Amino acid sequence: MFDKEYWEDRYKAREHFHQWGPNPILIEEATKLAPGTALDAGCGEGSDAIWLSTHGWRATGLDLSATVLELAQKKDGAADVRWVEGDLADWVPLAGRFDLVTSHYTHPDGPYDRFFTTLASAVAPGGTLLIVGHDPEDFEHAEACFTADQVVAALDPAEWRIDVAESRAHEVAGHRLVDVVVRATRFSKEIEAAEGPAWHAGPSD
């Protein structure tokens, strides 16, 4: 359903694009991190990627729609973002390339578990994965949403520490929204040495 043709038709049919600023959850979570390389997957009109770029990150904005990327590149602050036209359904990033991989309200044309693992594979050791989506209990198209548990289930506990996995209310343009928020840190050798190996429950004696 959510393939390239769908999004191109959707964006081309719109007379006006949203001019909302960066996602407040991105701002809240990213300000806790040291800037580095960042990927905004499904970047849409580019507000999040531009915010990252103007706050010290070397940002890449990825989207499958050439139409929306053209709009994003016209925004103030867009010049320092690397814009990439690509489909998350078949795009394979360089493994472990980004210190932050973030995706907000992205609807892939394929299974969510594959989408989550694709995003996770792009995170560098010690880096952060931030996934935000509409809470299915707060959105009219619940079938197009995911839960925090679904994201967590797609991440190997031997490789990831789950920092946040919750539903969170906030306001966008005067509207109250409830979102699923998952933030996870990919283990590095330094983290493993400090915290010990990930714990796994085994059969009781």
pLDDT tens digit string along 172-195?
667 777 889 999 999 986 555 555
What is the C-alpha separation between 105 and 40, in angstroms, rounded?
11
First to last CA, the chain: 48
Closest CA to 79 of 99, 102, 106, 61: 61
198 pLDDT above the threshold of 60: no
What's residue 79's pLDDT?
96
Alpha helices in the chain (DSSP H): 4-13, 24-30, 47-54, 66-72, 112-121, 148-153, 189-195
Kindly indicate the confidence band of residue 19, based on its pLDDT and cuts at 50, 70 and 90.
low
What's this model's pTM, rounded to 2 decimal places?
0.81
**3-class DSSP state for residue 12?**
helix
In 56-200, beta strands by DSSP E: 58-63, 82-85, 98-104, 123-134, 160-172, 175-186
What number of other Cβ atoms are within 10 A of residue 164's Cβ? 13
Lowest mean pLDDT among 6-10, 19-23, 57-61: 6-10
- Work out the mean pLDDT of the chain and round it to a whole number: 81
Average pLDDT over residues 151-170: 93
pLDDT tens digit string along 88-137?
766 666 678 999 999 998 777 668 888 899 999 999 999 999 999 876 55
201 pLDDT above the threshold of 50: no
Average pLDDT over residues 164-175: 80
What's residue 65's pLDDT?
86
Contacts of 28 (CB under 8 A, 6+ apart): none
pLDDT tens digit string along 33-86?
999 999 999 998 899 999 999 999 999 999 988 888 988 899 999 999 999 998
Give the domain ranges of the chain: 4-195
What's residue 29's pLDDT?
96
163 pLDDT above the threshold of 90: yes
CATH 3.40.50.150 corresponds to the domain 4-195: yes
What's residue 107's pLDDT?
72
